[in-house]
Chains A and B, each alone.
Chain A
Amino acid sequence: MEEFRELLDDCVHCGFCLPTCPTYVLWGEEMDSPRGRIHLMDQLERGGPLTASTVEHFDRCLGCMACVTACPSGVRYDRLIEMTRARVEDDHPRSRGERLLREAIFAVFPYPRRLRALRGPLRAYRRLNLDLAPLLERLSPTLAAMERLTPPPARHVRLPERVAARGERRAVVGMLTGCVQREFFPGVNSATARVLAMEGCDVVIPKGQGCCGALSLHTGRDEEARAFARATIEAFADVDVVVVNAAGCGSAMKDYGAVFAGDQEWAGRAAELSAKTRDLAEFLAELGPRATRHPLELAVAYHDACHLAHAQGVRAQPRRLLGGIPGLEVREVADPEICCGSAGVYNLLRPEAAGELGERKARNVTATGADLLVAANPGCTLQITTALHRRGEHIPVAHTAEVLDASIRGIGKESFISRR
């Protein structure tokens, strides 16, 4: 644990992280701030007991990494919390209820086919058209959150294994289809593939790909995460670039190198995969626009997904891509660095805190007066849509890829907006 000690010692206790931490913003307690959690980790590392209250403070962390951005001393809180979570999973016996909930989540979410199977019952539930929400809320706030977050079932789309570049080929790229993205937002994947192709890329979509392991990695399920990661590394062994359109997945894949650092067999391949992973916006900005953009007269509020802005440092690129569309105005959401509360499976495990953060974000999104919200992470999209719905508001939401796709294909504002 020498690495852990060194990472801890980087913290000088300046407190610059406090105002960017969602849970500190909510509760104003030191133990629910990054600085306080690092103090708790330090106590553990020095042999202190792993008590239920300490675990609670680690569990409350959303893993949004806003603190990593804010830290002037370069503390790798992301690594610290990941390592701590792995230890919690190993050493802390969870209650039966908690265990079942976690098992249930991880038995479904990382598996696209199981997610698809879930859509049937959810559709039935909706068809009953009975307002069961209050009952569900009382029985299990977590299940209620899942129900709320479930979008209307969309048509299943099967992408081909290879999409050919339009015009002269500029690159060959692999594409990750993800789990939630693939099952709940198939339109985002189709748009991503089309935009890449129209920008001159051959898009390779390996059939055998599964979950990248992001949800497991960010929840301390180390072994499970590694198994998913190894399969992902294998699936993309033959391409030079892997383009990812879900912020959480991209961030996890860029972390593979660190995750496998001590592993003789996999360290090299993991680092290689990390090095060739690009967020879609990052990749398109590097490549430069070639396809013609048609006007889209829209005021767009751009939402920074934590795993894009904080974890990958991708902030300017999506704004530049959107701003490059004629007629489109990009508006900023206040407090962009504060998480919307989605945070992987956080909104399923801690619906109350997630709900409060979602409410704050929704309020700030509404205040922009934009026609459309753009978010580049499926979790954020689900979370903010839900929060807006609760406020009795509706703003259409799209992924950066879908907006670019609409512009390049010349789909007008009306027909683009009416589809969402």
Chain B
Amino acid sequence: MARLDGLAGRLREIVGAESVITDPAELRTYDCDGLTYHRATPGIVVLPDTAEQIAAIVRACAADGVPYVARGSGTGLSGGALPRTDGVLIVTSRMRRVLAVDAANQRAIVEPGVINLDVTRAARPYGYYFAPDPSSQQVCSIGGNVAENSGGAHCLKYGFTVNHVLACEVVTPDGEIVELAEGPGYDLLGAFVGSEGTLGITTKVTVRLTRLPETVQTLLAGFDTIERAGEAVSAIIAAGVVPAAIEMMDALSIEAAEAAVRCGYPPGAGAVLIVELDGPASEVDAQFARVKELCGEAFEIRVAADDTERGLIWRGRKSAFAAVGRISPDYIVQDGVIPRTTLPEVLARIDALAREHGVRVANVFHAGDGNLHPLVLFDGAEPGAGERAEEVSGRIIDLCIEHGGSITGEHGVGIDKAKYMPRMFTDEDLDTMQMVRCAFDPAGLCNPGKVYPTPRLCGEVPGRRTGVHPLVESGKADLF
């Protein structure tokens, strides 16, 4: 690691000694993000304050051929910010200034370390908010949201992060500071948002602010079975209602949330649905009545009378992942997508899988857009339990693909799901994606080892393919 020692000295010159971490115990506290299954202690951690510092850090890494990974609050669930033992972890947690709130133009400019919810806190006095709301919104950073194209419960109506980012200032792997913005020409911003930190590091984000709705109505419906809840979801969508969110939780995840935050969901429910409508009062009132009818199979329907009651309903749902820690020592959070119509069938198959392998699976979903979050519970202390859970978790992904869905809805591929990419894409697909990546990062130093199961084309590791890529062969593309 002599190479890193020299680099650490140069990094200290860039950001000051206080902002470079090389103490082994301190480094280890950065060994994973929200997904603890994968761990790697970074070679160096650096805590910059400015875009210029990040550019200088990237140039220093490039000069030494040292890989680097960006990290915000470290809450990701696909190991996207997993550090490299032979590299530098660039942490943006000190870059947390809201630089401007321009309500008249419905935008705000923020640094990448700003917490998602803090954007809304800054905009609310002007009657606006930031729509993407991952469950970790009280802690996750905007930079991470951009990298992962994060979603949340309200994406059904409002779309993902990519729909709410107007421009990004980015440090490219060359160490240049550039601005990617919406406008004529190739949608580089669209390519950048959701690139999981492989195309560069964002240092300033211009986000779209959304007007606070005139009215919000939220109901909580308790169903005997998950099938009935699933039918209600299909009925609501079929009726042409576009709720701000439709969320479903099964009995096991309700149990966990209840243990954690005493959210007081209907006792004995096999599943609960949270349906939220927002918008102009006249429209919301009419549609809300319709939704209540469509939830007719529910044995109990509660309507939030005010923001406090709404908060309590959401609290159970938003804390569900971490709350599972109350009922199981370990668990895997899965993230997959299926066509909404296949929900009952896929759920039945997940149930059968769980039984077959003797593990418990708690289900939480963004039911409106078919985004499943099965939580596979296990006890790491029990020999073989982790492997069984991993097996079930992988088989759930197979189920999603088999039903025409996707291996991830919003958590990203990161390190965790790179291995599933070939199940969804052909080698040619993957190679084409990597060529885009190589255009930004020919040296392959920017968050390497993520997203793609086998690094190819950039010459990092010899690929499985022999010969040249068909696009190259046909003269349609070239390597960088």
Do A and B associate with each other?
Answer: yes
Which chain A residues have a beta carbon within 8 Å of chain B's beta carbons? 9-16, 18-19, 24, 27-31, 35-36, 39-40, 43, 48-49, 51, 53-54, 57, 71-74
B322 adjacent to A29 (CB under 8 Å): no
Cβ distance A40 to chain B, nearest Cβ, rounded Å: 6
Instruction: Show 7 residue pairs from A and B whose CB-CB distance is below 8 angstroms, ordered by the A residue.
Output: A15-B74, A16-B138, A31-B25, A31-B26, A31-B29, A43-B28, A72-B325
Residue-wise interface mask of B (73-107) relative to A, using a CB-CB cutoff of 8 A (1 in contact, 0 not): 11100000000000000010110100000000000
Q: Is the CB–CB distance between B26 and A12 below 8 Å?
A: no
* B47 interface hit (Cβ, 8 Å): yes
Least CB distance from B106 to A in Å reads 25
Q: How many A-B contacts if CB must be within 8 Å? A: 91
Which residues of B in the span 119-171 have a Cβ within 8 Å of any Cβ on A? 136, 138-140
Residues of B within 8 A of A73 (CB): 260, 322-323, 325-326
Contact of B36 among A10, A13, A53 (CB under 8 A): A13
CA distance A11 to B326 in the complex (A): 10
Q: Which residue of A lies closest to B26 (CB)?
A: A31
Chain A residues closer than 8 Å to B26, beta-carbon distance: 30-31, 53, 57
| B172 CB to nearest chain A CB (Å) | 25
Among B21, B73, B260, the one with the most A-chain Cβ atoms within 10 Å of its Cβ is: B73
B306 at the interface (CB under 8 A from A): no
Given contacts A28-B94, A53-B25, contact A15 B261 (CB under 8 A): no
Tell me the complex Cα distance, A14–B324, Å. Answer: 11
Minimum C-beta distance from A77 to chain B (A): 13
Q: Using Cβ atoms and an 8 Å threshold, which residues of chain A touch B30?
A: 30
A71: min CB distance to chain B, Å? 8
Contact B25 A43 (CB under 8 A): yes
Of residues 297 to 331 in B, which have CB atoms within 8 Å of A's CB atoms?
Answer: 319, 321-326, 329, 331
Q: A28-B93, A72-B260 are in contact. Are A14 and B34 (CB under 8 A)?
A: yes
Contact A9 B136 (CB under 8 A): no
Q: Is B243 an interface residue (CB 8 A)?
A: no
Q: Quick check: B25 and A12 within 8 Å, CB to CB?
A: no
Interface size on B, residues (CB 8 A): 38
Q: Which of A14, A19, A48, A49 contacts B115 (CB 8 A)?
A: A19
Considering the complex, give the chain A residue whose CB is closest to the CB of B30.
A30
- Is B69 interfacial (CB-CB < 8 Å)? no
In the complex where A14-B136, A30-B29, A36-B29 touch, is A72 in contact with B322 (Cβ < 8 A)? yes
Residues of B within 8 A of A24 (CB): 93
Cα–Cα distance between A12 and B35 once the two chains are bound (Å): 9
A73 to B323 alpha-carbon distance, docked (Å): 5
Residue of B47, B136, B329 touching A16 (CB-CB under 8 A): B136
Known: A29-B21, A30-B74. 17 other contacts (CB 8 A): A10-B325, A12-B325, A12-B331, A13-B32, A14-B139, A15-B75, A15-B136, A16-B139, A30-B26, A30-B91, A40-B29, A53-B25, A72-B260, A73-B322, A73-B326, A74-B260, A74-B326
Query: B96 — which chain A residues lie within 8 A by C-beta?
Result: 28
- Whether B473 sits at the interface, judged by CB under 8 Å, is no
Task: Provide the residues of chain A in CB contact with B75, threshold 8 Å.
Answer: 14-15
B321 in contact with A14 (CB, 8 Å): yes
**Bound CA span A74–B326, Å:** 7
Quick check: is B13 within 8 A (CB to CB) of the other chain? no
The chain B residue with its CB closest to the CB of A75 is B325
A39 B139 Cβ-Cβ under 8 A: no
Q: Determine the residue in chain A with the shortest Cβ distance to B95.
A: A28
B356 within 8 A of A: no
Residues of B within 8 A of A11 (CB): 325
Instruction: Report B26-43 residues with CB < 8 Å from chain A CB.
Output: 26, 28-34, 36
Please indicate the chain A residues that have their CB under 8 angstroms from the CB of B113 in the complex.
28
Is B29 a contact of A13 with CB atoms below 8 Å?
no
Chain B nearest Cβ from A320, distance in angstroms: 15
Contact check, B322 vs A16: say whether CB atoms are below 8 A apart. Answer: yes
Q: Which residues in B have their C-beta under 8 angstroms from that of A43? A: 25, 28
